Amino acid sequence: MVRAAVLPAVGSPLEITEIELPDPGPGQVRVRLAAAGVCHSDLSLADGTMRVPTPCVLGHEGAGTVIAVGEGVTSVRPGAEVILNWAPSCGSCPACRIGEGWLCDNALAGAASVYAHRPDGTELHPGLNVAAFAEETVVAENCLLPVPEGIDLTDAALLGCAVLTGYGAVHNSAAVREGESVVVYGVGGVGLATLQSARIAGAGPIVAVDVSPGKEALARAAGATDFVLASDKTAKQVRALTDGRGADVAVECVGRAETIRTAWESTRRGGRTTVVGIGGKDQQVTFNALELFHWGRTLSGCVYGNCDPAVDLPALAEHARAGRLDLRSLVTDRIGLSDIPAAFDAMRGARGGRALVEFQAPRSSPSGD
């Protein structure tokens, strides 16, 4: 029996309860979690913005230690430190065959499976494949990545989603070049990783935009040269900070139609907007044909940072070891499993950066600005 945060049904409160995990079967691995990040995607699953089979255990950004392996597992052994990979590419679908593994047709196939049970026999699904909101989990072998040498196991949890997404948005999707101006909308965990990644890319100026004035210090510490409090004048303010032309690149980490539209408007003629935030299907963004022609801007989505973890994870580890990437500064709250509902509330209120569940010794609880 292990403790976990169970989502009984979409829109229902999380329940912190005990669940029964089976021994790992063929091709499966059991992992004891050291830490799990509380991502906005988990909230999107809980409130129905994205679909997920329920009841389930959420959580997809985590790291831990292998404690048992099933038949046929060859890539890891008990005692290995691993990062959970919630979207493993199959390598054989059309997207994978053209090198776009982040769009793999089969990446989330495991999310519909039954991986555990409540004590009363109720079947449980593994959220986004890996069910990181639990003391232990059982995952497919291909859902694991090795913790890079020199990276603390607890810090490594952030590499499983927030950092890969923010880094990839800058380096893969938007392909930011040295000296380009960048504006980042939303200073949460992914937004902070995006700001750090823009600084690593040599961008400047780097403008952060958020609805909360309390995010300014976090944004500047992550690399922002300027901070703009979101309003109906945001695009005009960003243009004023970028020689009156607009930013070369905008990265939207919120997932709201209004913010996407503002991000697009805040770029220069020919600028690039990358949308990382996950919005609901009711969030409609509109453009007229003339402005699309006249401005010549690019608007693109970004899934998992358009990353190949085998390539990007070693690069991130090198940045972290060299001090260019500060993983710990992304975390504003270190919490326990029972604090996840409060962390969801903090995200709804646009408070803080990344909340990190520490399964050994959490040091604080979700805070305000």
> Residue 40 is encoded by which pair of tokens?
């906005």
d(CA 87, CA 37): 16
Q: List per-residue pLDDT tens for the chain, 369 residues long.
A: 999 999 999 989 999 999 999 999 999 999 999 999 999 889 888 888 888 899 999 999 999 999 999 999 999 999 999 999 999 999 999 999 999 999 999 999 888 899 999 999 999 999 899 999 999 999 999 999 999 999 999 999 999 999 999 999 999 999 999 999 999 999 999 999 999 999 999 999 999 999 999 999 999 999 999 999 999 999 999 999 999 999 999 999 999 999 999 999 999 999 999 999 988 888 999 999 999 999 999 999 999 999 999 899 999 999 999 999 999 999 999 999 999 999 998 888 888 889 999 997 544 545 544
Neighbours of 146 (CB within 10 A): 15
What CATH number labels 163-305? 3.40.50.720
Residue with tokens 């500047």: 220
Residue ranges of domains in the chain: 2-160+327-358, 163-305
pLDDT of residue 78: 97
Tell me if 334 sits within 8 A of 210, measured CB to CB.
no
Does the 2-160+327-358 domain belong in CATH 3.90.180.10? yes
Question: Can you give the three-state secondary structure of the chain, one letter per residue?
Answer: CEEEEEECCCCCCCEEEEEECCCCCCCEEEEEEEEEEECHHHHHHHCCCCCCCCCEECCCEEEEEEEEECCCCCCCCCCCEEEECCCCCCCCCHHHHCCCHHHCCCCCHHHHCCCEECCCCCEEECCCCCCCCECEEEEEHHHEEECCCCCCHHHHHHHHCHHHHHHHHHHHHCCCCCCCCEEEECCCHHHHHHHHHHHHCCCCCEEEEECCHHHHHHHHHHCCCEEEECCCCHHHHHHHHCCCCCEEEEEECCCCHHHHHHHHHCEEEEEEEEECCCCCCCCCCCCCHHHHHHHCCEEEECCHHHCCHHHHHHHHHHHHHCCCCCCHHHEEEEECHHHHHHHHHHHHCCCCCEEEEECCCCCCCCCCC
pLDDT of residue 361: 58
pLDDT of residue 248: 98
pLDDT of residue 352: 80
